[in-house]
């Protein structure tokens, strides 16, 4: 039981960090970005070149990775998203799919399909909980997810521009009317989302062990589901979604594997997703029906 | 740069799945016109697929069914290389191969009009469907896969004066695209269609081949769906046979130990596990855990924990090379080091490096091991092939780094092509499609050459091999961790 | 002095041209009203002034400078403020946060000026002061309207564009709003007001610009307007003259 929890939290950290990037972009721009997994992987290749090939310290590699992913997010917004100002969010979402595929192709082109090893930092600091070896980066993933999920909003509120970002997710047009350049906000959001993608990948990679093109895609998909579970516009929700899915997955793996359900992992994810979405859709109606009738009204 | 090119080849070698189709061939010396080198090795052809979408390198996905006559109920383990019902130099091919008056072919599968498609006095054309997507992503030249033919054409003028050319069509790892690729191949009028790895694709193309009367030589696939197919042939063992092979290895080395299984969650892979379990039960092996995972799951902490909880001493990883690599790497982080059974590729051993030696990994395959420049020990029986392979690449494709992770894939590709060459020679100067089928059907348990495994088409006439190879990792003199054979031609 | 001028401005969306040459000017310290039926182009005129719809031809001059190519944000920085249609307060931010955002440009110029500006706004809108920590989305329509105006005012603009402020408000709220806008007018800020509700609008503005199919067909001080002129130039016929007439006489009667 304890093990299920530990394993679930390890999963949760991974999913939550991916989910946060998705939510950040979505609430500010209305666009669902599908490129998070691949952007992160690209960052890992940068880190690989710096750390494994150039023998620089891991932190330098991480900094390089984050620099490149953030720049990529900014370039994507400046060069492409901005041109699509008139387009609907769905079209832009499709554009992110294209971005992901382009990055994937570049990874194959420059690095090939063979796995690259990026040694994780601080391995010696691993410790065992409930019979599972937990690494520092796994803890960091969870801590970062919690900090960002529950704290980012408060941080944003402190600055005018940050407040503008929060406002943009509520009413983008009005933001322009108070004199804040919306284009700058979207630039920051896309860059920030890409930064989080890079961060997510850096925190996840030590758990996986090797870097290959597209390896983050499966993890990212579950992260996307976590974001949806969390409501897609809520940063804390993204974290909660990650935790829910992470624990559901490890619990299913532990207790249901004997049932020989094919595709158990995805069944679990979709079952949870379905349950949450159904609940959201039906809850108002349920509440209404279950509430006691107001005095004098007919039942 | 060399490393980069080689690593490109890894993915590009999905295209080299072509080779898969071919297997070792009897090489009666009287028929060998190229100077007498013996036929190639054991069933070749299992290229590693590149990253995404992880199909299995080297894992055919099928149910069993091959029932070569020689199959016994024994569950003994490996045989030493070269033993077996080997009779070098027997007259494998029953069709005439010499010039002059030729007896008509026994097979009448192809009409006279169909019989000579793709073969002229000066040329022999073949076409292969394979997952080239990732190979094309970095512009791998066809010639990287065709070095054998290039050397043959240049140095020996081809086969009986026919220049051999092989082209490739991308099947994208999907059944529908495989059929499209096969159709594209057919438009080029090839002598035969070669089927690269893909147990989802091959059944689709088998159907197509029957409808289109195409001679189809393919990689491992399910027996289901092959009944009644007249135009398809394979010389590679099936999924079930592989699963059973793993069980044989487990029995030979780890009897009495607790065995865990981490398998791909797919109906195409499950038959291998069923076969493993059947043999395990008969031999009294204890299976303590069995976890199924989705493709490219990436994070295997759950499964590793389950194995450890069950106190598994040995874990059989029934996943592709990339997944296996990740899994073992993660196991080190988890400080869990059982013995591992898996598909052996230098991609895995070289990436893991030291982690692949603590303990050494065990593998089961249907192709020979390769370690550049190492001709000793279990490489000795086929060292001459290795040297010839290296010489050809030095001459015709020098940018390739054979010592890297692509080397073993290129080698198994090459040996399969060499085997096909021998079979085409056996087909004779007046080779036609029917005669080629005669050649195949003429194999009744002979072993081609001293290191080849028996081929026997007497079962259903379309499945020719049930031999597997056992391997283990070792550190080569070059410093790299590669695989080497510990037993070849292991029969059921 | 003339604060705002439009010279022959055309604008539209895609293939559709809505403004076919708007020419008008607004004197400093006055309230200009833009009236017209649905589709006449009132809203687009507002957007052309504000910059969210770019002018295809013609000029927009603000304080004598050509701002035709400036983005809306830059126009705000130059001294324009907005009370948008539907108020558009930020619902999940508090009243105070809304105001802080309204003062974005002011704070960038000089943060020190924000404190006094906020105090001044709270003085003028005590309702907002009481509810400063309340989420804007939980307030009534009238309170939100006050907030929207305050949010525009706090930035100390020279010109405020007020877009259909009475829309969606109950009559009581409309009365409150009218007082609020009067306060704004009294403070000397120039306003351009677009209103569907002509009676409401005429009770506030000094000059009326009447729009029909994308052109200004008549401009006149309110004192010189009568029912017939209105009816003709708005194209509404004598039917509505009665409704507007009482507003006109009320204005004439209580001329300031």
Q: Which of A288-297, B148-157, C163-172 has maximum average pLDDT?
A: B148-157
Q: Do B325 and B348 form a contact (C-beta atoms < 8 A)?
A: yes
> Is residue A235 situated within a structural domain?
yes
Rounded CA-CA distance B421/B121 in Å is: 16
Q: Do B167 and B205 form a contact (C-beta atoms < 8 A)?
A: no
Please tell me which residue, B250 or C184, carries the higher pLDDT value: B250
Domain count, chain A: 1
Q: A157 contacts in C (CB within 8 Å)?
A: 97
Q: How many angstroms away from the CA of A3 is the closest CA of chain B?
A: 9
Contact check, Cβ <8 Å, A174/C77: no
Show which residues on chain B lie within 8 Å of chain A, measured between beta carbons.
4, 7-11, 50-52, 134, 137-138, 265-267, 290-299, 301-303, 305-306, 308-309, 322, 325-326, 329-330, 333-335, 347, 351, 405
Residue ranges and CATH numbers for the domains of chain C are 1-79+159-165+192-256 (3.40.50.300)
B85, HSE (Cβ side, Cα atoms, 13 Å): 13
Q: How many angstroms away from the CA of A33 is the closest CA of chain C?
A: 24
Rounded CA-CA distance C226/C244 in Å is: 9
Q: Do C5 and C159 form a contact (C-beta atoms < 8 A)?
A: no
Q: Which residues pair with C65 in a beta bridge?
A: C62
Q: What integer pLDDT is reported at residue B276 of this predicted model?
A: 95
pTM score: 0.73
Rounded CA-CA distance B133/B139 in Å is: 10
The string of pLDDT tens digits covering residues C83-109 is 988 888 999 999 999 999 999 999 988
Nearest to C76 among A160, A171, A179 (CB): A179
Across B79-105, average pLDDT: 43
Residue B4 has pLDDT above 80, yes or no: no
Contact check, Cβ <8 Å, C52/A173: yes
Lowest average pLDDT, out of B78-87, B376-385, C55-64, C134-143, goes to: B78-87
Rounded CA-CA distance B358/B353 in Å is: 10
Q: For residue B141, what are the CA distances in angstroms to B5, B393, C85?
A: 11, 14, 63
Q: How many angstroms away from the CA of B401 is the closest CA of chain A?
A: 14
Q: A182 contacts in C (CB within 8 Å)?
A: 73
How many CB atoms are located within 10 Å of the residue C32 CB? 22
Rounded CA-CA distance A105/A113 in Å is: 10
Q: What integer pLDDT is reported at residue A28 of this predicted model?
A: 83
> Is residue A29 situated within a structural domain?
yes
> Is residue A113 situated within a structural domain?
yes
CATH of the domain at A106: 1.10.3470
Q: How many angstroms away from the CA of C29 is the closest CA of chain A?
A: 21
Residue B135 has pLDDT above 60, yes or no: no
Helix axes A216-229, A2-29, angle to 10 degrees: 80
| For chain A, percent of residues with pLDDT exceeding 70 | 95
C129-165 burial code (b ≥16 CB/10 A, e <16): bebeeebbeebebbbbbbbbbbbbbbbbbbbbbbbbb
CATH of domain B2-238+370-490: 3.40.50.2300
Across B93-104, average pLDDT: 52
Q: Do A138 and A224 form a contact (C-beta atoms < 8 A)?
A: no
Which of C47, C67, C72 would you mutate first to test chain A, the one with the most A CBs within 10 A? C72
Nearest to A181 among C73, C97, C100 (CB): C73
Contact check, Cβ <8 Å, B325/A210: yes
Lowest average pLDDT, out of A110-124, B6-20, B213-227, goes to: B6-20
Map tokens 């003994």 to a residue.
B76
User: pLDDT-based confidence at B46, cuts 50/70/90?
Assistant: very low
Dihedral angle computed from the Cα positions of residues A147, A153, A158 and A161, in that order, rounded to the nearest 10 degrees: 120
DSSP A92-111: HHHHHHHHHHHHHHHHHHHH
Q: What integer pLDDT is reported at residue B69 of this predicted model?
A: 30
The whole domain housing A181 covers: 2-286
Q: What integer pLDDT is reported at residue A238 of this predicted model?
A: 92
Q: What integer pLDDT is reported at residue B411 of this predicted model?
A: 87
Across B114-124, average pLDDT: 93
Lowest average pLDDT, out of A203-217, B10-24, B198-212, goes to: B10-24
Contact check, Cβ <8 Å, B294/A262: no
Q: B302 contacts in A (CB within 8 Å)?
A: 7, 11, 249-250, 253-254
A221 shares contact with chain B (CB less than 8 Å): no
> Is residue A78 situated within a structural domain?
yes
The string of pLDDT tens digits covering residues C115-125 is 999 999 998 88
User: pLDDT-based confidence at A255, cuts 50/70/90?
Assistant: confident
User: pLDDT-based confidence at A295, cuts 50/70/90?
Assistant: low
Please tell me which residue, B68 or C196, carries the higher pLDDT value: C196
C70-82 burial code (b ≥16 CB/10 A, e <16): bbbbebbbbbbbb
Selected residues 146-205 of chain A with any CB under 8 Å from a CB in chain B: 204
Rounded CA-CA distance B244/B65 in Å is: 13
Q: Which residues pair with A25 in a beta bridge?
A: none
Please tell me which residue, B246 or B399, carries the higher pLDDT value: B246
Question: In this structure, what are the phi and psi dihedrals at residue A206, rounded to the nearest 5 degrees?
Answer: -60, -30
Q: What integer pLDDT is reported at residue B101 of this predicted model?
A: 58
Contact check, Cβ <8 Å, A179/C73: yes
Across B136-144, average pLDDT: 47
C100 shares contact with chain A (CB less than 8 Å): yes
Selected residues 182-221 of chain C with any CB under 8 Å from a CB in chain A: none
Q: What integer pLDDT is reported at residue B221 of this predicted model?
A: 76
Q: What integer pLDDT is reported at residue B130 of this predicted model?
A: 82
Every domain range in chain B assigned CATH 3.40.50.2300: 2-238+370-490, 239-364
Lowest average pLDDT, out of A43-57, B194-208, B445-459, goes to: B445-459
User: pLDDT-based confidence at B347, cuts 50/70/90?
Assistant: confident
Contact check, Cβ <8 Å, A7/B301: yes
C165 shares contact with chain A (CB less than 8 Å): no
Q: ipTM value, please give it.
A: 0.82
The string of pLDDT tens digits covering residues A119-169 is 777 766 788 888 788 888 888 888 999 999 889 888 888 889 999 998 988
DSSP C164-185: STTTT--HHHHHHHHHHHHHHH
Across C140-163, average pLDDT: 90
Q: What integer pLDDT is reported at residue A71 of this predicted model?
A: 96
My answer on whether omega of the bond before B359 falls inside 30° of 0, hence cis, is yes
B and A touch per CB criterion (3+ pairs under 8 A): yes
Contact check, Cβ <8 Å, B296/A215: yes
Across B484-488, average pLDDT: 93
Rounded CA-CA distance A1/B441 in Å is: 59
Q: Which residues contact B120 (CB under 8 A, 6 or more apart)?
A: B162
Selected residues 73-132 of chain A with any CB under 8 Å from a CB in chain B: 104-105, 108-115, 117, 120, 123, 126, 131-132
Alpha helices in A55-129 (DSSP H): 58-79, 89-111
Across A96-103, average pLDDT: 91
Lowest average pLDDT, out of B300-309, B310-319, B402-411, B445-454, goes to: B445-454
Q: What is the DSSP letter of B159?
A: B
Residue B210 has pLDDT above 90, yes or no: yes
Contact check, Cβ <8 Å, A177/C104: no
Residue B254 has pLDDT above 90, yes or no: yes
CATH of domain B239-364: 3.40.50.2300
Q: What integer pLDDT is reported at residue B71 of this predicted model?
A: 30
Q: What integer pLDDT is reported at residue B281 of this predicted model?
A: 92
C101 shares contact with chain A (CB less than 8 Å): yes
Q: What is the DSSP letter of C82?
A: E
User: pLDDT-based confidence at A220, cuts 50/70/90?
Assistant: confident
User: pLDDT-based confidence at B105, cuts 50/70/90?
Assistant: confident
Residue C168 has pLDDT above 60, yes or no: yes
Contact check, Cβ <8 Å, A179/C104: yes
Q: Do A245 and A226 form a contact (C-beta atoms < 8 A)?
A: yes
Contact check, Cβ <8 Å, A254/B306: yes
Q: Do C248 and C225 form a contact (C-beta atoms < 8 A)?
A: yes
Contact check, Cβ <8 Å, A264/B265: yes
DSSP SS3 for A10:
helix
Across B464-478, average pLDDT: 93
User: pLDDT-based confidence at B448, cuts 50/70/90?
Assistant: low
Residue B93 has pLDDT above 70, yes or no: no
Tokens encoding B169: 């069509």
Q: B10 contacts in A (CB within 8 Å)?
A: 112-114
Q: C92 contacts in A (CB within 8 Å)?
A: 166, 170
């Amino acid at each position: 039981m304890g093990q299920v929890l530990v394993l679930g939290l390890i999963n949760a950290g991974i999913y939550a960090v991916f989910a946060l990037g998705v939510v950040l972009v979505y609430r500010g721009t209305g666009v669902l970005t599908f490129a998070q997994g691949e952007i992160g992987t690209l960052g890992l290749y940068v880190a690989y070149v710096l750390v494994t090939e150039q023998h620089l310290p891991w932190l330098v590699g991480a900094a390089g990775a984050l620099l490149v992913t953030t720049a990529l997010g900014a370039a994507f917004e400046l060069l492409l998203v901005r041109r699509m100002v008139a387009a609907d969010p769905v079209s832009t979402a499709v554009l992110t799919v294209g971005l992901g595929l382009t990055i994937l192709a570049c990874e194959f082109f420059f690095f090939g399909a063979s796995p690259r090893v990026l040694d994780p930092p601080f391995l010696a600091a691993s410790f065992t909980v409930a019979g599972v070896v937990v690494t520092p980066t796994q803890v960091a993933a969870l801590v970062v997810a919690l900090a960002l999920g529950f704290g980012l909003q408060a941080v944003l509120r402190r600055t005018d521009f940050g407040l503008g970002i929060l406002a943009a997710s509520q009413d983008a047009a009005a933001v322009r009317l108070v004199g804040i350049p919306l284009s700058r906000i979207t630039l920051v959001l896309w860059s920030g989302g890409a930064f989080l993608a890079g961060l997510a990948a850096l925190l996840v990679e030590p758990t996986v062990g090797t870097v290959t093109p597209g390896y983050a895609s499966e993890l990212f998909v579950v992260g996307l589901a976590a974001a949806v579970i969390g409501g897609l516009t809520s940063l804390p929700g993204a974290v909660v979604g990650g935790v829910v899915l992470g624990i559901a997955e490890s619990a299913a793996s532990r207790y249901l594997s004997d049932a020989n359900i094919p595709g158990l992992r995805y069944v679990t994810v979709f079952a949870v997703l379905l349950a949450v979405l159904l609940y959201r859709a039906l809850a108002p109606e349920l509440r209404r029906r279950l509430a006691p009738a107001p005095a004098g009204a007919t039942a | 740069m060399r490393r980069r090119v080689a690593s490109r080849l890894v993915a590009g070698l999905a295209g080299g799945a072509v080779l898969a189709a071919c297997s070792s061939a009897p090489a009666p010396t009287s028929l060998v016109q190229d100077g007498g080198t013996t036929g190639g090795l054991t069933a070749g052809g299992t290229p590693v697929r590149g990253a995404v979408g992880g199909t299995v390198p080297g894992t055919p996905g099928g149910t069993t069914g091959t029932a070569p006559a020689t199959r016994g109920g024994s569950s003994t383990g490996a045989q030493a290389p070269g033993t077996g019902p080997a009779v070098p130099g027997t007259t494998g091919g029953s069709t005439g191969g010499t010039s002059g008056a030729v007896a008509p072919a026994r097979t009448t599968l192809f009409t006279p009009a169909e019989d000579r498609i793709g073969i002229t006095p000066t040329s022999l054309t073949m076409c292969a469907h394979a997952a080239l997507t990732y190979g094309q992503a970095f512009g791998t030249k066809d010639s990287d896969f065709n070095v054998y033919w290039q050397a043959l054409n240049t140095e020996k003028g081809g086969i009986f004066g026919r220049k051999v050319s092989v082209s490739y069509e991308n099947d994208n790892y999907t059944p529908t695209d495989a059929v499209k690729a096969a159709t594209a191949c057919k438009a080029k009028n090839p002598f035969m269609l070669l089927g690269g790895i893909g147990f989802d694709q091959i059944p689709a193309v088998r159907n197509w081949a029957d409808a289109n009367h195409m001679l189809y030589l393919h990689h491992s696939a399910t027996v289901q769906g092959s009944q009644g197919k007249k135009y398809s042939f394979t010389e590679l063992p099936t999924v079930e046979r592989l699963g059973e092979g793993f069980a044989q290895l487990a029995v030979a080395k780890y009897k009495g130990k607790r065995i865990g299984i981490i398998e791909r969650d797919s109906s195409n892979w499950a038959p291998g596990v069923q076969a493993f379990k059947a043999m395990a039960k008969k031999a009294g092996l204890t299976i303590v855990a069995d976890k199924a995972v989705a493709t490219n799951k990436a994070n295997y902490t759950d499964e590793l924990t389950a194995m450890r909880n069950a106190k598994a001493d040995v874990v059989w990883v029934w996943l592709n090379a990339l997944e296996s690599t990740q899994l073992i790497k993660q196991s080190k982080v988890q400080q869990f080091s059982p013995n591992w059974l898996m598909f052996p590729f230098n991609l895995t051993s070289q990436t893991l490096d030291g982690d692949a030696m603590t303990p050494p990994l065990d593998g089961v395959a249907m192709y020979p091991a390769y370690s550049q420049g190492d001709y000793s020990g279990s490489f000795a029986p086929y060292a001459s092939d290795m040297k010839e392979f290296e010489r050809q690449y030095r001459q015709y494709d020098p940018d390739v780094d054979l010592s890297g992770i692509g080397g073993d894939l290129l080698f198994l590709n090459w040996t399969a092509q060499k085997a096909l060459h021998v079979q085409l020679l056996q087909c004779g100067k007046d080779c036609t499609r029917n005669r080629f089928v005669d050649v195949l059907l003429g194999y009744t348990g002979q072993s081609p050459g001293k290191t080849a495994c028996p081929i026997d088409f007497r079962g259903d006439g379309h499945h020719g091999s049930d031999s597997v190879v056992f391997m283990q990792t070792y550190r080569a003199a070059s410093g790299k961790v590669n695989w080497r054979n510990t037993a070849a031609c292991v029969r059921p | 002095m003339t604060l705002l001028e439009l010279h022959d401005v055309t604008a539209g969306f895609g293939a559709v041209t809505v403004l076919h040459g708007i020419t008008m000017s607004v004197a400093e310290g006055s309230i200009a009203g833009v009236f017209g039926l649905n589709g006449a182009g009132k809203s687009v005129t507002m957007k052309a002034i504000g910059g969210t719809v770019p002018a295809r031809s013609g000029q927009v001059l603000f304080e004598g400078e050509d701002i035709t190519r400036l983005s809306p944000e830059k126009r705000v920085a130059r001294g324009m403020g907005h009370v948008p249609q539907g108020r558009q307060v930020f619902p999940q931010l508090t009243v105070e946060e809304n105001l802080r955002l309204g003062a974005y440009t002011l704070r960038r110029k000089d943060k020190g000026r924000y404190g006094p500006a906020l105090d001044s706004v709270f003085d003028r809108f005590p309702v907002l002061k009481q509810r400063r920590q309340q989420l804007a989305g939980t307030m009534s329509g009238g309170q939100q309207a006050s907030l929207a105006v305050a949010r525009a005012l706090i930035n100390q603009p020279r010109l405020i564009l007020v877009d259909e402020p009475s829309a969606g408000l109950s009559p009581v709220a409309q009365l409150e709003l009218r007082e609020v806008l009067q306060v704004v007018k009294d403070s000397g800020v120039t306003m351009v007001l677009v209103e569907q509700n002509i009676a409401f609008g005429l009770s506030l503005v000094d000059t009326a610009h009447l729009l029909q199919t994308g052109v200004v067909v008549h401009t006149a001080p309110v004192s010189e307007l009568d029912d017939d002129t209105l009816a003709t130039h708005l194209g509404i016929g004598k039917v509505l003259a009665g409704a507007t007439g009482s507003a006109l006489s009320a204005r004439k009667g209580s001329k300031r």
